[in-house]
Amino acid sequence: MLRTQGNAHYRFLDFQDAEPGDRFCRVRHTPYGNRVCALEMAEVIAIDAKRVYCQLAGRKKRWSFRKTAEQPDCYVEEDPLFQSIALRFRQTERVERIKGWIQKAPVEAFDDRVCAAIEDWHRGRESPESE
């Protein structure tokens, strides 16, 4: 069974007692950065005395690492820290997708209803700071 170790500042997934069939999530970051670029589901498929072998969803190649190595970018799905990371990632992806639609849309596509909704949202964001 997989266990989360560490504290609020540094957490890692402990694979010492991992079993085939254990599922977890892996957070991938941009190279040399801390921006999350993907959340990948993974499953432990085999274990030997020194290594853990995993299969990442949607990939053919297996991923393996030393059983005693800390895995700081891996989380069980129920971990509150992972839930927070996943929520932020989904929100960021959604906003980026919407920004792309806005940039590609012709000006005529923005009727008064759309513009008023965006202006209302923007005013709502400014008002708590100005009070």
Give the start-to-end residue ranges of the domains of the chain: 3-127
Do the beta carbons of residue 88 and residue 34 sit within 8 Å? no
Do the beta carbons of residue 27 and residue 42 sit within 8 Å? no
Pairing of strands 23-29, 36-47: antiparallel
pLDDT at res. 124? 87
Query: Which one-letter amino acid corresponds to residue 32?
Result: Y
CA distance 61 to 64: 10
Confidence of residue 125 (pLDDT cuts 50, 70, 90): confident
Confidence of residue 109 (pLDDT cuts 50, 70, 90): confident
How confident is the model over 3-22, as pLDDT tens digits?
888 887 788 898 988 999 99
